[in-house]
Structure 1
Amino acid sequence: MLSKKLAAVDRTRCVACGVCENTCPLGAAKVRRGCYAAVEAERCVGCGKCAKLCPVGCIEVKVRADA
């Protein structure tokens, strides 16, 4: 069962620093092509650790659309 929350990345603001990737306890956040981070919805539990530590504030925890 998926959690009701999900982290979402604003690609236009992401600097691909890797903080989210190194912080995510479930490995849901990954830096793609060295350009931006993305979150695997199937793995994300919406804990918010990535959003809390993102140095540019481009990650937001939202309620899943299918929740």
Structure 2
Amino acid sequence: MPQPPPPPRIEVPAIPRMDAPTQPSLRSRPRSSFGDRISRCLDEAAAAGLNQAERAAYSRSCANHRD
């Protein structure tokens, strides 16, 4: 009869110390408002020569993907 496998190794995760130096966090700039993104996307669509229906579809998609 084979021997049972060894028990799993249990490791305690390191707990950060309150007095330890920290690395600065990288903060992204805040996302512009939805209205600002829509306006910018509508301007781009108009500059590209899209018609009204195409501009509406483009601006919705564009505004949801922009930062």
TM-score normalised by length of structure 2: 0.22
TM-score normalised by length of structure 1: 0.22
Higher relative contact order (CA 8 A, sep 6+): 1
